Structure 1
């Protein structure tokens, strides 16, 4: 559907994605965006470094550090694409540690076909959904629901082995402008290789199309080979990469 290339530049797509996965507190630093969400996920608890912070870079690095330390959080920064290289060098010079690459993948939105797997869609995550989503393999902290639900057009997909049972596959979708963001795709270990990840993603893309999305984006760590293969089969291509920098403990 539509064009074969994303119509947005790196900084613009990052700002769209930031609106789709928000912390519970935000504050601008020039063009940069300071975000805090109780420590749940890097995306919700790092400074999004796009554009000009409105001050010399070493001073901006210090301002980021002070903002997060004032909230009891380890200071972090998300540095997307080539546009962030000068800032990345400033964070590195201050001794901030570099995380691994995260790939931002995009594709024209093509609603997935219904293969008969029943997928529940809800505007809020219930306890079963929250229990099934394993962020980096870990159970969710108490601040997670506030971050996950902090979007005006959001859906939570779940596959349950039977009505009322705990989900064995989940995903989250959010529509911002004409973009669908897909995240939190998780399948229980004993339910893998049954097409459930494809099923929840297909349901979320159908929902996104119904809500006006024309494009889809998602993020995946460079080391997550199975997820990258899944998304590649679904037609997603790399738009850009970002990485985090974390202040010394």
Structure 2
């Protein structure tokens, strides 16, 4: 993959990515997007803060808080790039705590060679795929299947040590317009450093190219040094960063 400049800016890429990883409920708040998905992942359960909420910022912060509390969820907001600085200050002023940075990486999509190991691709995740996926080190809840299968053209990659055996590496791909989004890359601890993450990602980029995608994006936590090193080696560059803010517990 080369290192050409992404054709989308921060707001457009965030809105596109939101279409590829959706909760079970969405509602606009001016230019912001309220998203709920049973509490599974920040991306599906936070307000995407892009553009103008159509009301004063303190009032918008209160509206976000009320919307999530009405659904039994801790209110949260995703604040991408420099465009969200004023809103970020408003959330901070209301006592919302800040998480670490998440990097959004992009690259032109070039279909690479066949993976070094067999990689299965399926339009839906089977029980073995879901069991192999780890979100923040935990087995995902039942609502995860709804979020994972949202977003339109989706593919689930899996590497199995033998026919019918549980996967030891998995990843998810979704094509939105002409972009491939890669997520949920998980390799079993005792199978790491064998190139399996590269294999499942390679299979998804080949699939994405076949779906007409010309660019690829993914998200990685700033603290995940091994993953960042892998993506850097394979040609991804930082497009922008975002972080979450969460309302005080019990407020």
Question: What interval of TM-score do these two structures reach, taking the shorter chain for normalisation?
Answer: over 0.9
Instruction: Determine if contact 2:103/2:240 at 8 Å carries over to the other structure.
Output: yes
2:178 matched residue in structure 1: 178
Partner of 1:51: 51
1:198 and 2:198 correspond: yes
Alpha-carbon offset, residue 152 of structure 1: 1.2
Q: Please provide the CA RMSD for this pair.
A: 1.0
Partner secondary structure for residue 100 of structure 2: coil
Distance 1:131 1:3 in 2: 35
Q: Partner residue of 1:77?
A: 77
Moved over 4 A (4+): none
CA distance in 2, matches of 1:124, 1:198: 21
Which residue pairs with 1:246 in the alignment? Answer: 246
For the Cα contact (< 8 Å) 1:10–1:240, is it kept in 2? yes
Contact kept? 1:106, 1:239, Cα under 8 Å: yes
For residue 138 of structure 2, give the secondary structure of its aligned residue in structure 1.
Answer: coil
Q: Which residue of 2 aligns with 1:124?
A: 124
Superimposed CA distance per residue, residues 172-195 of structure 1 (whole angstroms, 9 cap, x where no aligned partner): 000000000000000000001110
Give the structure 1 partner of residue 65 of structure 2.
Answer: 65
Q: Distance in 1 between matches of 2:145 and 2:112?
A: 27
Q: Secondary structure at the match of 2:39?
A: coil
Normalising by structure 2, we get a TM-score of 0.98
Contact 1:2/1:214 (<8 A) preserved: no
Q: Give the number of aligned pairs.
A: 249
Q: Structure 2 CA distance, aligned partners of 1:39 and 1:57?
A: 24
Distance (whole Å) between structure 2 residues aligned to residue 32 and residue 174 of structure 1: 23
Match of 1:66, SS state, is: helix
Q: 1:43 to 1:86 in 2, by over 3 A?
A: same
5 Å matches for 1:129-140? 129-140=129-140
Q: Which runs of 5+ in 2 are unaligned?
A: none
Written as runs of structure 1 = structure 2, the 5 A alignment for 1:1-249 is 4-249=4-249
Measured in 1, the distance between the counterparts of 2:53 and 2:243 equals: 18
In the alignment, structure 1 segments of 5+ residues that lack a partner are none
Offset, 1:118: 0.2
State the distance in 2 between where 1:3 and 1:233 align: 12
Distance apart, 1:3 and its partner CA: 7.8
Secondary structure at 1:135 match in 2: coil
Distance 1:3 1:101, change over 3 A: closer
